[in-house]
Amino acid sequence: MNDQLLSLQALAAPDGTCYGCGCSHPGGLHLQSHWDADGVHLLCRHAPDSTFIGWPGLVYGGLLAMLVDCHSNWTAMAYHYRAEGREAGSLPRIDCVTGTLNLSYLKPTPMGVELLLKARVEGEVGRKTRVLCEVWAGDVLTVSADSVFVRVDTEKLKLKAHGQG
């Protein structure tokens, strides 16, 4: 398959196990993020199924937070690769984790409508990178987010989380 068609997730982390964006999670959502033609934004499309209903006819807010979290994180990582003049998937791998996740639920998000997530980095790409993300249901902006993602060494992070680092 042409690398232009592969998502950032498939290029950079085909073994990823995140429920939201991991290519290898057996029951996950397998979100896919791609550069927009504008070269500034990353886009992700997702059509929530009825598993993720909140109030009748509305998407569960926790799912919206997860979509923003995964897509924004991939936006930060994509910008890191680009800042280093490297292709996604080149080694060493770049990984980021969520530092802060700030969402504003602007309008109810309807079920049965494909969602478009549109994200970009605001400011400098650094150890901590600020990402702005929007969720659109058709032509209605339903969620905006302003979050920070932190570049990490995932092996060190895993050891620390388990009291070994």
DSSP characters over 93-152: PPEEEEEE--EEE-S--BTTS-EEEEEEEES--SSEEEEEEEEEETTEEEEEEEEEEEEE
- Residue 159's pLDDT is what? 85
Three-state DSSP class for 73? helix
Number of H helices, E strands in the chain: 3, 7
- Residue 2's pLDDT is what? 55
From first to last of the 165 residues of the chain, give the pLDDT tens digit: 556 689 999 999 999 999 999 999 999 999 999 999 999 999 999 999 999 999 999 999 999 999 999 999 999 999 999 999 999 999 999 999 999 999 999 999 999 999 999 999 999 999 999 999 999 999 999 999 999 999 999 888 888 888 987
Contact 50, 58 (CB under 8 A): no
User: What is the token pair recorded at 14?
Assistant: 């085909």
DSSP characters over 74-98: HHHHHHHHHHTT--TTPSSPPEEEE
Task: Identify the DSSP state of 59.
Answer: B
Contact 39, 78 (CB under 8 A): no
pTM above threshold 0.85: yes
Contact 108, 58 (CB under 8 A): yes
Cα separation of 158 and 165, whole Å?
8
Cα separation of 83 and 86, whole Å?
8
